Amino acid sequence: MGAAIYWMGYSMMPLPCPTPVGWIVGCCESLAYPAEMEEIDKGWLWMPSCMFWWCDPNKTRSHGDFLNATNSNWLTTVRAAVLASPLVPDRPLTFHYVGLDEPDKPEVLSYAEAHSSSRAALPRHAFVIARAGGQSHELRVDVTDATAPSVLSHGVYNGAGFPMLTLDEEFAAAALPPRHAPFVESVRRRGVDMDDVLCGAFLVGWFGDVDRSGSEEKVQQRRVVKLLCFVAGATANFYARPLEGVTLVADLDLMAIVEYRDRVLYPVPKAEGTDYRAGKVGAPYAGHEAAPGVVLQPEGRGFHIDGHFLSLTGLLEVKGTDYTHADQIREDAHGTLVAENTLAVYHDHYVTCHLDLDVDGTNNSFVKNIITTRRNTAGTPRKSYWTVRREVAETEADAQVDVNAAPADLLIVNPNKRTRMGNEVGYRVVPGGATAASVLDDDDYPQRRASYSKKQVWVTPYSRDEKWAPGLYADQSTGDDGLAAWSGRDRGIRNEDIVLWYTVGIHHIPYQDDFPVMPTVSGGFELRPANFFERNPLLKTRYPMDDQPPFLNCSCAGNSS
């Protein structure tokens, strides 16, 4: 019953485990304060190309390697096949996404259940997004026989949005500002040594099909990024020292700066107090120490992760300002003053999980057990009581849930399988904190691009092509693709092969305690059995040690005098 989460990182990574329970996509962050469109300032919607697979390690071991591709051989095979194909003659050609397609689910299930001696090889196809000649190319490559790969199809994507950046593009774009004479002059005006300046490429978002002058005439999308620059100097935490007031926009196809403005001269935040490294923060806290806690697992850890792991750290989104004290602020600053000349910006965090559960079979239903208050009319002294109103979602519209709206249990059940008591077997989705939903107006551009963030729970019919909550081409997307658009078809989901999407959300109001690096903020959800077993399965769990009774709680204390 245990599960592990694996980090995929950039998109050219293989499937890390053969039987994914689900995956996490999106990782989008929408800043809360309004952007000035003409400045392409910090009002964009973050949609980085991060992805997590959530795998059942027990199934990984039992089902073998029929979907596993944890080495890079297949990547080399796909790359060679695409470069050798005459379908994309333009050069240079860059790979922005390479991923293995899921085989058809019936084929996967048949393969998993068949005896190893009778298994036929599953067809394996890779999906590729490449850029060449100023266009986004989509290709599918057959890699079933790695010695003879072939390109099955090719098309040019002409819709809204672009594929995610490559690392090479990010590094090349970040190297442009120091070679741009107006930027060099701006750095000099701020009294900063150019050798201390570091820049990074950030997505610009989408603010409607208008040009920069405000004309309603539709303009051609350009593949551009905004370059934000920072000052390192005496600190490793250079993100805490933004070079505020300078706007640089780079065209990735031209790899050149195409827009530049030095809007306002703000002081660069001081390096003092921004470094979070242990050797730089001074002497340890000398006050009362918390009692140590010890977790013992004499036989090793109770989980297993093979080959991939998840590690996330947090830094605040900050911008420079001329404020040095909170009393100086007379208008909405869109953030908290956490240090001199440093505003930590209000923002949101959303992480969306894609869960293809298949509870005891592929055909499932989504059930809401809604807690409802009733007046007591039985003639007893009680005036009210609560009971449960059971609702089975018929279509996608019935399964869009704000978990904060009303108390309810949310379940995925198999209506075709029952316990001995006659209850449908299922699993509950239990929110575990961080249940914020977006509060932006529906017509706001970031909200149009991530409209699924208004609800934490969505349920859709299984589709192999519906993987990414914000859509496949997230950079400058317009909201026409993605989870909310798919669910808008209002397809039937009762007793069907369905997928549940869960979004963990946080409205982040920064405080000084979050600076220069914020403490851990936790959120998530649980999957708990709901009539899946005939009785509590933990009753048959072996004690950690044969001579130790269950639920033994030990604590140690020193001399309290």
**pLDDT tens-digit series, residues 291-335:** 776 666 665 655 444 443 333 455 688 999 999 999 999 999 999
Q: 295 versus 97: which is more confidently predicted?
A: 97
Which helix (H) or strand (E) element contains residue 448?
helix 445-449
Adjacent-strand bridge partners of 460? 499
More confident residue, 112 or 24: 112
Residue 221 has pLDDT above 90, yes or no: no
Question: Are the CB atoms for 175 and 252 separated by under 8 Å?
Answer: no
Q: Which residues, 6+ apart, have CB-to-CB distance to 357 below 8 Å?
A: 21, 22, 364, 412, 427, 500, 527
Where does the pLDDT of residue 441 fall: very low under 50, low under 70, confident under 90, or very high at 90 and above?
very high
CB 490 within 8 Å of CB 390: no
pTM: 0.82
Backbone angles phi, psi at 136, to 5 degrees: -100, 120
In 10 A of CB 367, how many CB atoms?
23
Span 344-367, mean pLDDT?
95
Residue 31 has pLDDT above 90, yes or no: no
| Distance in angstroms (rounded) separating the CA atoms of residues 554 and 561 | 21
Structure tokens at 531: 């009539």
- Look at 114-118, 370-374, 398-402 and tell me which has the smallest mean pLDDT: 114-118
Question: What is the pLDDT confidence band of residue 60, given thresholds at 50, 70 and 90?
Answer: very low
* Residues in contact with 92: Cβ distance below 8 Å, sequence separation at least 6, in sequence order: 132
* 284 residue type, one letter: P
Mean pLDDT of the chain: 82
Q: What is the pLDDT of residues 114-146, one digit of tens each?
A: 877 777 778 899 999 999 999 999 999 999 888
The pLDDT value recorded for residue 271 is 93
Instruction: Report pLDDT for 116.
Output: 75
Which long-range contacts does 551-558 make (Cβ < 8 Å, 24+ apart)? none
Distance in angstroms (rounded) separating the CA atoms of residues 289 and 558: 13
Number of helices followed by number of strands (H, E) in the chain: 7, 23
Least confident of 50-59, 135-144, 270-279, 304-313: 50-59
Has residue 43 got a pLDDT over 70?
no
pLDDT tens string 475-495: 999 999 999 999 999 999 999
Q: Does the pLDDT of residue 416 top 60, yes or no?
A: yes
Give pLDDT, residue 545: 60
Residue 105 pLDDT grade (very low, low, confident, very high; cuts 50, 70, 90): confident
Tell whether the model's pLDDT for residue 44 goes beyond 80.
no
Question: How far lies 208's CA from each of 21, 40, 118, 229, in Å?
Answer: 37, 12, 55, 26
Contact 525, 431 (CB under 8 A): yes
The tokens describing 352, both together, are: 């969306």
The amino acid at residue 367 is V
pLDDT band for position 433 (50/70/90)?
confident
Over residues 447-468, the pLDDT tens digits come to 999 999 999 999 999 998 899 9
Q: State the average pLDDT over residues 267-287.
A: 82
Is the pLDDT reported for residue 149 higher than 90?
yes
Element (H, E) at 108: helix 105-113
Is 138:155 a contact under the CB 8 Å cutoff? yes
Categorize the per-residue pLDDT at 72 as very low, low, confident or very high, splitting at 50, 70 and 90: low
pLDDT at 71: 52
Taking 80 as the threshold, does the pLDDT of residue 542 lie above it?
no
Q: Respond yes or no on whether the N-terminal peptide bond of residue 516 is cis (omega within 30° of 0).
A: yes
Note every long-range contact of 300-308, with CB atoms under 8 Å and residues 24 or more positions apart, other chains counting.
302/2, 303/2, 303/4, 303/57, 304/4, 304/57, 305/4, 305/6, 305/57, 306/17, 306/57, 306/60, 307/6, 307/16, 307/70, 308/6, 308/7, 308/8, 308/16, 308/53, 308/70
